[in-house]
């Protein structure tokens, strides 16, 4: 509205605000050179002089109109046009009349002070054309341009009142008698509505009522224009434009309120009333006029009435639902009353019209993907989808105003929607994988919007429900449902959102200190059997659990949340529900998932009290399989940092001297020995194979760190196994380990184990040096001699440990 002063053509403004794409000559413009335009006017003068209008002259006429709204028509050109139209010697083709009328329209709208003489002459010529049956019976486009020009003439401030009345009378007559012709094609509707807008803004009260009546009932008439969202948006902005121009006319505002908003007329299309009310709201938002402010209350009541009627009959009018959504999105804040029907309509619109995933999934299964591809692409370009963000914002505001009953109903619909999307999209993705990737990508653009909608709605829910005056049970129930819903749509989270993190913190903080809520959340995780079920796609490709990206994203969400509440998960629940999935996803090729699995293991191992025998027993049982599962995937699948944190946790939190700690140490040494034995033992081999030896070096480093972590009962066994491993290493490998050991023991402040470690390191250093000296002299000896020497070295180690 701020740019209305610079808007010459109302139809262009309406189309721009409705997302309409025009194929008419007026907007389908091609830049024309000044020479081409001058030549076109010259050709038209020639036709008048030669008293002949040929195809070449028609092409010149089109050349002018191909310039679109950039063309300027001055008084001399108007004189030429009128002379051509009124010449009895020229036989004009019927298709040329709408083009001449469009040129006159451009003149009227662009001229700051059109000549009264030319105005009167134009109107006279116009009525002569209208009375010509040979013209009026042939062209819908002629009627459309005729209406547009009549409206534009009536909108000229300086036009005499009797002439204005004559134009408006003719305008109303055509609308009432020839409405089928002016609404035959959707491309003509913007021009017809613009003519109506000009006429409404300039007429008196009698014509105002007649034209309003035609505007709102034409959509329900047989043969009238189609009811669609673009036409609805044009009505919205048309009413906004008209009422904004009627600020000084309090009488017109009262008439609009009485005829359109306060009375129920069955002949009026509901979608047009909704958009008319929204236009009134927009006009009131942009003006402090008392008349428009009074109109606001009537408009809000009418919107609520129509929404209530729709909800009461469980309507399925797609256009009406979309129009209600867009009306609310473009009208600013609308106060919702007791029944909160607007909220329910918005919910239905979001789930079925703005994010119609259920319909798309069904159609893809039942029809070919080609049809589904076209349908989805069309929706992505639609106005309703492009305004999904604004509609979601309005939806959240309406939710905040609603009563508890309406809030609960809407919440359940949204949570169920998340579950449906998770189940259905996985199946459709399997169906389309490798078959129609483009359609799958387009579908995911809609699901990403669905994710954003759920995030913002969930944040609105937390602000309403996670507050002190709401019972704790309700808060916990809401928190769990939000977490489950987020897990279902986690795959579609493609960006960092502060709203997402704020919601997660709020609901996770609510859940993590309540055992019942923790159990409820954990038990919602898909079962091991469901996760490992093998699916076969439409092109016979098998999809196992590790290839299902959407399922993996959901499990990753659980594995990130469970550590925050591990303390309150009962042992029986963890054993039955979490442990199988935890160990399964430790073998997943995605590093994020495996790291999250190790983090979940660490959280459980470090949870609980030492006197909880059942929990301690379960921890010890899990350790055996944890070490097996971790080491079989190392190096490669198992991330070293994840495994190291798991080993450190079990050493720190399990009872001292636990057999599973001995087992873990033995497994680590065995794995390190196996990895190191794969490489040659020549001098400097470790320096030459730095990258290849990295996994082995990391395990050695972990074993060295365990010297300061394991309890005193396990330490001798660790030292013995580690010494046996070190003396088997090549010289540069031994030096590396010994250097690390010297530094670690020197920095240690553990007065209990330091004396033992000092003695052990000295002995190990001596044995290693002896092995180096003897190894140098025996390098050319036979293999049997080397074996005897190694046995002697191990025997020496055993004597040292026995003495310690």
Q: How distant, in Å, are the alpha carbons of 247, 349, 691 from that of 244? A: 6, 29, 75
Angle CA 257–259–263, to nearest 5: 95
**pLDDT for the residue 67:** 82
Do residues 446 and 380 touch, judged by C-beta distance below 8 A?
Answer: yes
**pLDDT for the residue 613:** 85
Give the integer Cα–Cα distance in Å for 219 and 416.
36
**pLDDT for the residue 1:** 43
Do residues 714 and 753 touch, judged by C-beta distance below 8 A?
Answer: no
Closest Cα partner for 257 from 281, 237, 238?
A: 281
Q: For 530-665, where are the E strands, in sequence order?
A: 535-536, 542-543
**pLDDT for the residue 24:** 42
Torsion-angle region of 318 (φ positive above 0: left; ψ -120 to 50: alpha; else: beta): alpha
**pLDDT for the residue 200:** 95
Which tokens go with 797? 């180690």
Q: How distant, in Å, are the alpha carbons of 202, 273, 283, 286 from that of 2? A: 21, 25, 12, 9
**pLDDT for the residue 778:** 47
Give the integer Cα–Cα distance in Å for 440 and 432.
7
Give the integer Cα–Cα distance in Å for 495 and 757.
51
Query: pTM to 2 decimals?
Result: 0.87
Give the integer Cα–Cα distance in Å for 535 and 420.
19
**pLDDT for the residue 178:** 81
pLDDT along the chain (804 residues), means of 10: 56 88 47 83 91 90 84 91 90 89 93 88 89 65 92 92 93 87 80 95 93 93 88 95 86 92 91 95 81 83 93 88 95 78 94 95 78 87 94 94 93 97 92 86 95 97 94 95 97 93 93 92 93 69 79 96 93 95 94 95 88 88 95 92 95 92 95 82 60 85 92 92 87 84 86 86 81 51 41 47 47
Q: For 365-479, where are the E strands, in sequence order?
A: none
**pLDDT for the residue 541:** 57
Q: Identify the residue whose tokens are 């999307």.
A: 421
**pLDDT for the residue 781:** 46
Closest Cα partner for 250 from 214, 208, 278?
A: 208
**pLDDT for the residue 782:** 38
**pLDDT for the residue 684:** 57
Q: Which residues pair with 535 in a beta bridge?
A: 543
State yes or no: cis peptide before 635, omega within 30 of 0: yes
């Amino acid at each position: 509205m701020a740019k209305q002063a610079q808007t010459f053509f109302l139809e262009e403004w309406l189309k721009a605000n409705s997302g309409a794409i025009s194929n008419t000559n007026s907007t389908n413009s091609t830049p024309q050179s000044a020479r081409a335009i001058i030549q076109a006017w010259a050709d038209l003068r020639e036709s008048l002089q030669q008293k002949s209008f040929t195809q070449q002259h028609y092409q010149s006429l089109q050349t002018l109109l191909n310039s679109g709204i950039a063309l300027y028509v001055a008084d001399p050109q108007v004189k030429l046009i009128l002379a051509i139209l009124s010449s009895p010697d020229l036989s004009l083709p019927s298709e040329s009349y709408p083009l001449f009328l469009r040129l006159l329209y451009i003149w009227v709208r662009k001229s700051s002070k059109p000549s009264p003489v030319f105005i009167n002459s134009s109107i006279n010529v116009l009525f002569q054309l209208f009375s010509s049956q040979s013209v009026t019976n042939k062209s819908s486009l002629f009627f459309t341009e005729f209406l547009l020009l009549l409206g534009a003439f009536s909108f000229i401030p300086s036009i005499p009142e009797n002439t204005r009345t004559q134009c408006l009378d003719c305008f109303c007559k055509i609308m009432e008698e020839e409405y089928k012709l002016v609404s035959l094609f959707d491309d003509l509707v913007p021009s017809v509505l613009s003519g109506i807008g000009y006429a409404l803004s300039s007429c008196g009260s009698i014509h105002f009522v007649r034209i309003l009546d035609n505007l709102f009932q034409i959509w329900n008439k047989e043969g009238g224009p189609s009811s669609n969202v673009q036409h609805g948006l044009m009505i919205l902005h048309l009413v906004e434009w008209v009422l904004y121009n009627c600020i000084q006319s309090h009488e017109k505002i009262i008439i609009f309120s009485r005829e359109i908003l306060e009375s129920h007329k069955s002949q009026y299309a509901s979608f047009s009333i909704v958009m008319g009310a929204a236009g009134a709201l927009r006009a009131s938002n942009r003006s402090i006029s008392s008349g428009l402010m009074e109109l606001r209350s009537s408009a809000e009541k009418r919107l609520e009435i129509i929404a209530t009627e729709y909800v009461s009959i469980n309507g399925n009018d797609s256009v009406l639902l979309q129009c209600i959504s867009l009306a609310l999105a473009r009208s600013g804040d609308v106060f919702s009353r007791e029944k909160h029907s607007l909220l329910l309509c918005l919910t239905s619109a979001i789930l079925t019209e703005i994010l119609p995933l259920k319909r798309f999934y069904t159609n893809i299964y039942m029809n070919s993907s080609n049809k589904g591809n076209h349908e989805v692409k069309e929706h992505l370009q639609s106005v309703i989808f492009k305004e999904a963000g604004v509609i979601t914002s309005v939806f959240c505001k309406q939710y905040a105003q609603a009563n508890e009953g309406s809030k609960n109903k809407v919440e359940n619909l949204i949570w169920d929607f998340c579950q449906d999307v998770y189940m259905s999209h996985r199946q459709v993705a399997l169906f389309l994988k490798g078959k129609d990737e483009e359609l799958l990508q387009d579908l995911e653009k809609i699901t990403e919007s669905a994710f954003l909608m759920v995030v913002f709605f969930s944040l609105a829910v937390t602000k309403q429900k996670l507050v002190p005056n709401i019972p704790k049970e309700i808060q916990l129930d809401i928190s769990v449902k939000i977490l489950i819903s987020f897990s279902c749509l986690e795959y579609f989270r493609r960006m960092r959102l502060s709203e997402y993190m704020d919601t997660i913190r709020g609901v996770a903080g609510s859940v993590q200190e309540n055992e019942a809520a923790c159990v409820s959340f954990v038990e919602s995780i898909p079962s091991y059997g469901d996760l490992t079920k093998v699916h076969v796609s439409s092109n016979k490709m098998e999809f196992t659990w590790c290839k299902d990206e959407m399922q993996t994203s959901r499990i990753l969400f659980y594995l990130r949340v469970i550590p925050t509440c591990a303390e309150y998960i009962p042992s029986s629940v963890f054993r039955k529900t979490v442990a199988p999935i935890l160990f399964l996803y430790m073998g997943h090729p995605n590093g994020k998932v495996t790291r999250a699995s190790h983090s979940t293991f660490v959280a459980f191992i470090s949870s609980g009290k030492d006197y909880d025998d059942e929990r301690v027993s379960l921890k010890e049982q899990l350790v055996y399989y944890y070490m097996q599962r971790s080491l079989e995937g190392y190096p490669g699948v198992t991330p070293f940092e994840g495994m190291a944190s798991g080993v450190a946790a079990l050493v720190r939190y399990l009872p001292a001297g636990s057999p599973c700690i001995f087992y873990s140490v033995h497994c680590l040494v065995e794995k390190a020995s196996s990895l190191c034995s794969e490489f040659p033992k020549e001098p400097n081999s470790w320096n030459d194979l730095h990258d290849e030896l990295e996994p082995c070096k990391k395990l050695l480093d972990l074993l060295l760190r365990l010297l300061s972590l394991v309890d005193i009962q396990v330490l001798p066994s660790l030292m013995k196994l580690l010494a046996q491993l070190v003396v088997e290493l090549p010289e540069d490998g031994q030096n590396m380990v010994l250097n690390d050991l010297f530094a670690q023991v020197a920095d240690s402040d553990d007065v209990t184990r330091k004396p033992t470690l000092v003695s052990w390191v000295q002995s190990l250093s001596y044995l290693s040096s002896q092995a180096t000296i003897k190894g140098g002299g025996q390098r050319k000896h036979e293999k049997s001699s080397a074996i005897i020497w190694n046995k002697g070295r191990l025997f020496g180690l055993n004597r040292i440990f026995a003495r310690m």
